[in-house]
């Protein structure tokens, strides 16, 4: 921690800051420049994290030196984490595609969709049983019935299942039915839910919040990991900006930034990011090219009649054609798909 002292601070003020730091068990290193005196606090920076040094008289600003996340950082573990989901390796050379409808509607539609996306090369099936909807009057998902349909379709097709958990009270239920537990963007800082899934033995797919910085995204990941569960897939899904021609702004720079900071796999969800089916293909291609470890794409056999997010769902034939393009791009950068 670096503490910059105001130009006109008194010696007593400097002494007071120095004592405060020492009282927390850190050593102090003082450097007097022409314009400013600077205090370096040497030792366990976390001891200072919740001490508001910046309000002490004479302090101009405080600058942390170390990153606040640990277990999920590359400094902690340098080799990439590869997560095994029923035999599918996530985070390795192979780019993995998760596909399926926004929400589970009927057993038949789900099975039909699963068979089609599997044929095109998707390795994991997505489907929402509990849906976070902006309006209380919108379709809220089938609940446990939806989870049962997902389990049924898994038995029929062999595709492992990912579905979103919204409530800590449903955690056990999800552990029974799904292979990967998704935490949605709106719950990225639902810390009780993060703590809960940090204690289960299932991989977690954590979506970036709409207004979450990359640092906050990693801190939420740390919440899960600090409980013991380090099988976490990060998923960029668009951030909120002033631009309204897309639902959100897909931040593809986040992929290489995250890959440099953490050993965990990074996915991209172009469907929720753009909110428009015709933008899903170009941004999926870009996501593979930028280095994402996988994609999460909404596919629906009949988008016009979808109960949720029809406007951003690909039809199976479009998805099939996209998968061919993605394979070519993966090959161009030395990966498979």
Residues numbered 178 to 207 that lie near a copy of itself (CB under 8 A) are 186-187, 189-192, 195
The yes or no reply on residue 11 touching a copy of itself (CB under 8 A) is no
The yes or no reply on residue 337 touching a copy of itself (CB under 8 A) is no
Which residues inside 107-136 make contact with a copy of itself, applying CB under 8 A? Answer: 132-136
Please, which residue, 94 or 311, has the CB nearer to a copy of itself? 311
| Alpha carbons 85 and 90: distance in angstroms, whole number | 7
Residue selected from 76, 145, 228, 253 as contacting a copy of itself according to rule CB under 8 A? 253
* Count of positions (residues) in the chain: 337
The yes or no reply on residue 151 touching a copy of itself (CB under 8 A) is no
Which residues inside 54-93 make contact with a copy of itself, applying CB under 8 A? Answer: 54-56, 63, 65-66, 68, 75
User: Are 86 and 123 within 8 A, CB to CB?
Assistant: no
Residue selected from 96, 120, 230, 274 as contacting a copy of itself according to rule CB under 8 A? 274
Please, which residue, 18 or 152, has the CB nearer to a copy of itself? 18
The yes or no reply on residue 288 touching a copy of itself (CB under 8 A) is yes
User: Are 208 and 188 within 8 A, CB to CB?
Assistant: yes
Please report how close the Cβ of residue 109 comes to a copy of itself at its closest, in angstroms: 16
User: Are 16 and 58 within 8 A, CB to CB?
Assistant: yes
> What are the residues whose beta carbons fall under 8 Å from the beta carbon of 324, sequence distance 6 or more?
none
First to last CA, the chain: 44
The yes or no reply on residue 143 touching a copy of itself (CB under 8 A) is no
CA-based torsion, 213, 218, 224, 229: positive or negative? positive
Residue selected from 145, 156, 317, 332 as contacting a copy of itself according to rule CB under 8 A? 332
Q: CA torsion angle for 267, 272, 274, 279 (degrees, to 10)?
A: 70
Q: Extract the tokens encoding 78.
A: 């340098």
E strand intervals along 269-333 = 294-298
Which residues inside 31-50 make contact with a copy of itself, applying CB under 8 A? Answer: 31, 33-36, 38, 40, 42-46, 49-50
Using CB under 8 A as the binding criterion, the count of chain residues that bind a copy of itself stands at 106
Which residues inside 311-330 make contact with a copy of itself, applying CB under 8 A? Answer: 311, 325, 328-329
Q: Extract the tokens encoding 321.
A: 């054609």
Please, which residue, 28 or 157, has the CB nearer to a copy of itself? 28
Q: Extract the tokens encoding 269.
A: 């969800």
């Amino acid at each position: 921690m670096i503490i910059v002292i105001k130009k006109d601070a008194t010696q007593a003020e400097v002494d007071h800051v120095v004592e405060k730091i020492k009282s927390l068990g850190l050593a102090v290193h003082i450097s007097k420049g022409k314009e400013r005196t600077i205090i370096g606090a040497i030792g366990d920076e976390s001891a200072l994290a919740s001490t508001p040094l910046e309000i002490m008289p004479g302090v101009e600003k405080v600058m942390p030196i170390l990153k606040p996340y640990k277990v999920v950082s590359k400094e902690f573990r340098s080799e990439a984490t590869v997560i095994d989901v029923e035999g599918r390796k996530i985070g390795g050379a192979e780019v993995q595609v998760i596909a399926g409808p926004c929400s589970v509607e009927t057993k038949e539609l789900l099975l039909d969709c699963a068979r089609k996306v599997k044929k095109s090369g998707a390795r994991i099936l997505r489907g929402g049983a509990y849906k976070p909807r902006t309006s209380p009057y919108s379709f809220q998902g089938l609940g446990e019935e939806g989870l049962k349909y997902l389990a049924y379709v898994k038995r029929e097709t062999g595709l492992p299942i990912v579905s979103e958990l919204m409530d800590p009270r449903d955690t056990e239920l999800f552990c029974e039915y799904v292979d990967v537990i998704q935490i949605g963007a709106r719950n990225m800082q639902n810390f009780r839910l993060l703590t809960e899934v940090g204690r289960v033995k299932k991989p977690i797919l954590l979506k970036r919040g709409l207004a979450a910085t990359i640092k906050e995204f990693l801190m939420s990941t740390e919440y899960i990991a600090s409980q013991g569960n380090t099988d976490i897939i990060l998923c960029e899904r668009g951030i909120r900006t002033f631009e309204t021609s897309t639902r959100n702004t897909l931040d593809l720079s986040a992929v290489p930034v995250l890959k440099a900071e953490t050993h965990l796999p990074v996915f991209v969800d172009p469907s929720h990011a753009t909110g428009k089916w015709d933008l899903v293909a170009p941004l999926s291609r870009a996501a593979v090219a930028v280095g994402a470890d996988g994609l999460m794409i909404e596919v629906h056999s009949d988008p016009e009649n979808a109960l949720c997010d029809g406007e951003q769902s690909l039809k199976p034939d479009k998805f099939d054609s996209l998968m061919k393009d993605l394979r070519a791009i993966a090959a161009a950068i030395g990966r498979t798909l």
